């Protein structure tokens, strides 16, 4: 926890102690260029950053009463590291002035390797960030160029080194598997060599509307078969297990519980979070709402009111369904009482090696996580 | 009461999509019965289902007021006809109630298969035929060519063909005038005993059964006691009237008129289309035309998807039956599907209509099993057995002779499709072929064919090989001996009685294979391997395998993904509700009738 952080939390407003602390997500919808596989909301119009920043501060004001205290902060995107030092500084200053960030809070920022200089890493530490999520994607230059990333493998390594030097002891690396001609074992070995606290390993997913989808449709791009992807997934589980990483979520691995992504875990555990910025979602435990995905609309709406375009209050049944859906993605699993399927169904899944039942919880195995989208329907 | 001189009774007949409904709407609109503002498109086809399928199932009749060029007031009764082979008897009763028809021909498409079939039907009833060339507004309209076809192929005087565009309201007045001038008024004897032909009946939840009829002789008023000549049932008439947009009460219905009767008749099933109504105290000696009981040709079992929906199904079937005399049903049960009903239908379209209406109008999630026909057996002990459900197929060792129903099929096609149609018919065990040449370039083919061969996608195949130019009709002949076998279907080695079917031995293997393949397409991949097998007497003759999926997981699920993912899950859950668990396999509703789906060309 940085000095900076502690100093500022003393000055914060007097929060209502009754409100439990929440997670704060800030969506930075800017990228220097769009990656051909990504369907997250972002734009390359960096000249709009200042308007966005202004609107974001207005949006935060709207929630000061409802969400006074936070135990996690997460700057995601887009590419948050694209913001200038000054923009990042004024954003964080406003955040700290408006709400309270608890002692010991996890403060994460997503960065692109090519944005992480030694100076930048130091600045991020000074701004109070204590966790860095680095978008490495691959340690192979050919694959990085296929993915149209702006960095090289060497830059990725340098970024990790700068982060460590700057004092980030919680570092997470994002990697992708299932790429054409990829030596995934070698990539994993290289990642593990840095001994990061956390690894996110995503299967390349071709989403409709992305340039990769078009390439795949036209046959120019061949993605791995279902069978190969299953093997890669299981291989990842076993290699990282040997290296001391727990497979605590479908795509996430931590070298000890203290390195698990606390902010993201809030999503999976149904804990409240406030999402700011275009397309961001928020949740208070019962109701979820979301903002317009259009940056101009987002900025305009905050000049006069709210950017919220959708809202739903979950019924107990919907909450249960989400618990099943989220639980089957994580090592926490689900409460036995949330399962309404016959006991024979559970036994069958256990025999098939997909779940383990213990301490009144049903927990997916690594193989079970491969069916995370299906098991809720079976257990429901 | 209108004098007969001022009445015209007519139908519009046409090949599908040649504009029958549009012309009917336009006539209603132009008659001033309905204001333009209230004008509801395709008024006659008032059920959703019919609008979607573009065919008329239950006919709607309407009396149009019209003032002629002679300043006389006329009543023009437009009698709508259903448009499918399953309902050919209903069509014939509607036509029997008319003196003439408008035979509609599309100005671009010209004469087509059903144009001809419709013409024959009208000629059978000695109706006056007015050819009408519709859609003359189309850029592709070729009036001269169509006139030549009317001359050459229909043998009608094309100089007398009317030209109109129902869509644009062109030539509508000429249609009205031709109806008055060219169609004869009805002839009847007001003083003779009552003879009224039932051509339709509908159930109204407030009024009970509303019988549509054409009065041929005599007259009828409220308070009269009527008798149905087929079963001698008597009813006291509460009300008579004519069809406007709503029922319009009249003092009397007389010879020549078309109207309705309300007589405390509880359900539509108590009436018979084609029956003759007379007066109890002064009965007619003869019926009008020939009366035929509706005959169930195709049988299928209906089960609720959720077993606890059975009472709901009972209720829905009872309500549905109020308005569909042709549906027969009785209790049935299946090891795989629980309590349900065995239903008899006029044909496959009738079956599909019942299925869709049960779901839509009565909100029932149902499974229908593979349709079957009625088989008869003489057993070795000399006893006889009739079954409509493969489940009750007797022990093969006990069978002396098995009989299956045969129909006479009638197909009219352009000559160029003859080879393909002949092959289809002989593949389907057609025999005793006969040919006619009703007009140049057209051929009429008759075959004797097992009905079972028709219910397996025959009509779809015929339509596909003749590109829609084939007209098709069939009529029950008799039951004939056949070498039959029962094929059991098994899903993961568990017998599913609701999927079993009866086939001729020669076709059993290809048909079982086809069913295995269809089921493979219909049953979604699951987390484990699914083996589908067809067997005769325990030996497997066909098999297919559905491989399990190896993974089903998305890589990312963060704050913004959760609602979307849950909604997808809810949707899948709904889909799951529409599946039936058989053992540990989820079988979707439509898999049960998958065997009927057309083979892929």
pLDDT in tens, B481-490: 999 999 999 9
Over 70: is that where the pLDDT of B400 sits?
A: yes
Burial group, residue B421, by CB count within 10 angstroms (0-12, 13-18, 19+) = buried
In chain A, which residues have their Cβ closer than 8 Å to the Cβ of B552? 370-374
Residue labelled with tokens 């090592």: A331
Residue B2: the pLDDT is: 57
Cα separation, B157 vs B176, whole angstroms: 19
Tell me what the pLDDT averaged over chain B comes to: 87
Strands B100-106 and B7-14: parallel
Question: What is the number of other CB atoms lying within 10 angstroms of the CB of residue B111?
Answer: 25
- Average the pLDDT over each of A52-61, B127-136, B468-477, B493-502 and give the range with the smallest value: B468-477
User: Rounded to a whole number, what is the distance in Å from the CA of A220 to chain B's nearest CA?
Assistant: 23
**Residue B85's pLDDT is what?**
57
Which tokens in the block code for residue A349?
Answer: 């899944």
Find how far residue B230's CA is from the centre of its chain.
23
| Predicted pLDDT of residue B545 | 96
ipTM of the complex: 0.92
Residue B150 CA to residue A112 CA, distance in Å, equals 77
Contact B557 A267 (CB under 8 A): yes
- For an interface test with B, which of A374, A375, A376, A380 has the most B Cβ atoms less than 10 Å from its Cβ? A374
Is-cis flag, bond preceding A78, omega within 30? yes
- As a whole number of Å, the CA-based R_g of chain B is 27
Q: Give the best residue of A377, A378, A379, A380 to mutate against chain B (max B CB count within 10 A).
A: A377
Residue of B289, B290, B349 whose CA lies nearest to B324: B349
DSSP track, B320-364: HHTT-TT-EEEEEEETTTEEEEEEEESSHHHHHHHHHHHHHTS--
pLDDT computed for residue B354 by the predictor: 87
The better pLDDT of the pair B367, B282 is held by B282
Nearest CB neighbour to A202, from listed B528, B549, B556: B556
Bridge partners (DSSP) listed for residue B439: B442
pLDDT at residue B322 greater than cutoff 70: yes
Give the pLDDT of residue A10.
38
Residue A318: closest CA among chain B residues belongs to which residue? Answer: B566
Main-chain phi, psi angles of A25, to 5 degrees: -115, 130
**pLDDT value, residue A127:** 96
> Which chain B residues contact residue A374 at CB under 8 A?
527, 549, 552-553
Contact B559 A281 (CB under 8 A): yes
Mutation choice for B interface testing from A75, A207, A227, A281 by most B CBs within 10 A: A281
Q: For residue B70, name the pLDDT band (cuts at 50, 70, 90).
A: confident
State how far the Cα of B87 lies from the Cα of A106, in Å rounded to an integer: 73
B551 and A352: CB-CB below 8 Å? no
B217 forms bridges with which residues in the sheet?
A: B195
According to the model, what pLDDT value does residue A13 have? 46
How many CB atoms lie under 10 A from the CB of residue B558? 18
Predicted pLDDT at B269: 80
Taking the C-alpha atoms of residue A358 and residue A130, their distance in angstroms, rounded to an integer, is 35
Tokens of B377: 């057996």
**What DSSP state is assigned to residue B316?**
H
Q: Are B325 and B271 in contact (CB under 8 A)?
A: yes
Helix (H) or strand (E) holding B209: strand B208-217
Cα separation, B560 vs B62, whole angstroms: 57
CB contact under 8 A, A250 and B555: yes
- Evaluate whether B256 touches B198 at the Cβ level (below 8 Å): no
The answer on pLDDT for B305 being more than 90 is no
Q: Which of A5-14, A36-45, B275-284, B538-547 has the lowest mean pLDDT?
A: A5-14
The H helix count followed by the E strand count for chain B is 13, 33
Q: How confident is the model at residue B55 (pLDDT cuts 50, 70, 90)?
A: very low
The predicted structure's pLDDT at residue B355: 86
Predicted local distance difference test score (pLDDT) of residue B36:
57
Q: How far is A290 from chain B (nearest CA, A)?
A: 8
How far from chain centre, in Å, is Cα B101?
Answer: 21
Q: Is the Cβ–Cβ distance between B26 and B169 less than 8 Å?
A: yes
pLDDT of residue B284: 94
For residue B113, what pLDDT band results from cuts at 50, 70 and 90?
Answer: low
Residue A57: both structure tokens together = 């501060």
Distance CA A255, CA A264 (A): 16
Between residues A223 and B312, the one the model is more confident about: B312
Would you state the pLDDT for residue B1? 46
For chain A, 380 residues long, give each residue's pLDDT as a single digit of tens: 343 443 344 334 444 455 689 999 999 999 998 888 887 788 888 899 999 999 999 999 999 999 999 999 999 988 999 999 999 999 999 999 999 999 999 999 999 999 999 999 999 999 999 999 999 999 999 999 999 999 999 999 999 999 999 999 899 999 999 999 999 999 999 999 999 999 999 999 888 888 888 888 888 877 788 899 999 999 999 999 999 999 999 999 999 999 999 999 999 999 999 999 999 999 999 999 999 999 999 999 998 899 999 999 999 999 999 999 999 999 999 999 999 888 888 998 999 999 999 989 999 999 999 999 999 998 88
State which residue of chain B sits closest to A370, comparing Cα positions. Answer: B551
Structure tokens belonging to residue A192: 């593990």
Q: What is the pLDDT of residue B279?
A: 96
Contacts of A352 in chain B (CB under 8 A): 527-528
Residue among A227, A264, A321 whose CB faces B558 most closely: A264
């Amino acid at each position: 926890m940085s000095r900076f952080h502690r100093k500022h939390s003393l000055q914060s407003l007097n929060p209502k102690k009754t409100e439990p602390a929440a997670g704060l997500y800030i969506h930075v919808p800017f990228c220097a260029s769009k990656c051909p596989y990504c369907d997250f909301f972002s734009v390359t119009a960096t000249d709009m950053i200042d308007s966005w920043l202004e609107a974001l501060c207005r949006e935060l004001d709207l929630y000061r009463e409802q969400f006074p205290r936070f135990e996690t902060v997460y700057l995601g995107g887009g590419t948050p590291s694209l913001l200038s030092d000054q923009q990042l500084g004024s954003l964080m200053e406003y955040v700290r002035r408006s709400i309270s960030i608890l002692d010991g809070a996890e403060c994460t920022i997503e960065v692109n390797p090519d944005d992480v200089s030694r100076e930048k890493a130091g600045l991020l530490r000074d701004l109070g960030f204590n966790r860095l999520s680095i978008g490495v994607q691959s340690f192979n230059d050919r694959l990085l160029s296929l993915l149209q990333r702006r960095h090289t493998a060497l830059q990725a390594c340098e970024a990790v080194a700068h982060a460590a030097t700057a004092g980030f002891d919680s570092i997470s690396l994002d990697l992708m598997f299932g790429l054409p001609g990829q030596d995934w074992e070698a990539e994993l070995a290289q990642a593990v060599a840095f001994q990061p606290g956390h690894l996110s390993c995503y299967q390349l997913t071709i989403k409709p509307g992305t340039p990769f989808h078009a390439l795949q449709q036209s046959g120019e791009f061949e993605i791995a078969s279902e069978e190969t992807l299953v093997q890669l997934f299981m291989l990842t589980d076993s290699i990282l297990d040997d290296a001391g990483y727990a497979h605590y979520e479908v795509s996430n691995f931590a070298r000890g519980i203290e390195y698990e992504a606390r902010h993201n875990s809030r999503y999976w555990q149904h804990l409240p979070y406030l999402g700011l910025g275009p397309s961001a979602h928020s949740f208070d435990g019962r109701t979820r709402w979301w903002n317009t995905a259009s940056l101009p609309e987002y900025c305009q709406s905050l000049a006069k009111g709210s950017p919220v375009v959708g809202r739903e209050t979950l019924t107990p049944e919907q909450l249960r369904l989400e618990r099943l859906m989220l639980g089957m993605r994580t090592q926490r699993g689900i409460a036995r009482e949330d399962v309404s399927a016959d006991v024979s169904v559970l036994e069958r899944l256990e025999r098939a090696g997909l779940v383990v039942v213990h301490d009144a919880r049903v927990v997916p195995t690594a193989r079970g996580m491969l069916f995370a989208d299906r098991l809720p329907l079976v257990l429901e | 009461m209108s004098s007969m001189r001022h009445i015209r009774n007519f139908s519009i007949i046409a090949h599908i999509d040649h504009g029958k409904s549009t012309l009917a709407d336009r006539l209603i609109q132009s008659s001033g019965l309905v204001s333009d503002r209230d004008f509801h498109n395709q008024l006659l086809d008032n059920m959703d289902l019919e609008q979607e399928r573009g065919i008329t199932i239950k006919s709607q009749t309407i009396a149009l007021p019209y003032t002629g060029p002679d300043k006389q007031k006329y009543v023009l009764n437009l009698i709508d006809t259903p448009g499918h082979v399953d309902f050919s008897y209903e069509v014939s009763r509607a036509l029997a109630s008319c003196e003439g028809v408008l035979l509609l021909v599309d100005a671009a498409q010209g004469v087509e298969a059903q144009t001809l079939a419709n013409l024959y039907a009208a000629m059978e009833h000695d109706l006056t035929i007015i050819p009408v060339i519709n859609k003359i507004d189309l850029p592709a309209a070729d009036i001269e060519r169509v006139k030549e076809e009317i001359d050459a192929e229909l043998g009608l005087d094309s100089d007398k063909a009317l030209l109109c565009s129902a869509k644009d309201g062109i030539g509508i007045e000429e249609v009205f005038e031709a109806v008055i001038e060219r169609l004869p008024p009805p002839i009847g004897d007001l003083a003779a005993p009552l003879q009224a032909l039932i051509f339709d009946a509908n159930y109204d939840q407030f009024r009970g059964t509303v019988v549509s009829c054409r009065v041929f002789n005599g007259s009828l008023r409220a308070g009269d006691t009527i008798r149905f000549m087929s079963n001698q049932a008597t009813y006291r008439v509460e009300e008579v009237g004519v069809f406007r947009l709503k029922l319009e009460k009249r003092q009397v219905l007389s010879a020549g008129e078309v109207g309705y009767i309300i007589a405390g008749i509880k359900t539509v099933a108590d009436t018979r289309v084609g029956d003759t109504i007379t007066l109890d105290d002064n009965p007619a000696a003869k019926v009008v035309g020939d009366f035929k009981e509706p005959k169930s040709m195709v049988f299928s079992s209906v089960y609720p998807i959720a077993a606890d929906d059975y009472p709901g199904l009972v209720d829905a079937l009872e309500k549905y039956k109020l308005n569909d005399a042709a549906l027969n049903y009785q209790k049935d049960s299946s090891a795989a599907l629980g309590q349900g009903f065995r239903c008899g239908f006029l044909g496959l379209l009738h079956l599909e209509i019942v299925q869709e209406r049960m779901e839509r109008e009565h909100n029932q999630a149902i499974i229908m099993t593979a349709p079957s026909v009625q088989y008869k057996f003489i057993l070795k002990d000399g006893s006889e057995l009739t079954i409509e459900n493969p489940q009750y197929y007797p022990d093969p060792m006990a069978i002396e002779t098995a009989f299956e129903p045969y129909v006479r099929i009638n197909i009219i096609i352009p000559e160029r499709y003859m080879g393909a149609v002949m092959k289809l018919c002989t593949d389907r065990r057609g025999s005793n072929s006969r040919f006619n040449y009703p007009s140049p370039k057209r051929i009429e083919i008759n075959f004797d064919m097992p009905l079972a061969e028709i219910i397996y996608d025959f009509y779809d195949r015929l339509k596909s090989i003749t590109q829609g130019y084939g007209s098709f009709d069939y009529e029950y002949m008799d039951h004939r001996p056949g070498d039959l076998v029962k094929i059991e279907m098994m899903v993961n080695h568990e017998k599913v009685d609701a999927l079993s079917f009866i086939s001729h031995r020669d076709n059993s293997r290809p048909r079982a294979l086809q069913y295995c393949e269809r089921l493979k397409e219909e049953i979604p991949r699951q987390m484990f391997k699914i083996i589908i097998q067809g067997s005769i007497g325990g030996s497997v003759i066909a098999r297919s395998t559905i491989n399990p999926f190896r993974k089903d997981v998305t890589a990312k699920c963060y704050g913004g993904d959760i609602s979307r993912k849950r909604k997808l899950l809810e949707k899948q859950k709904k889909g799951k509700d529409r599946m039936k668990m058989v053992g540990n396999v989820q079988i979707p509703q439509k898999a049960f009738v998958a065997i009927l789906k057309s083979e892929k060309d």
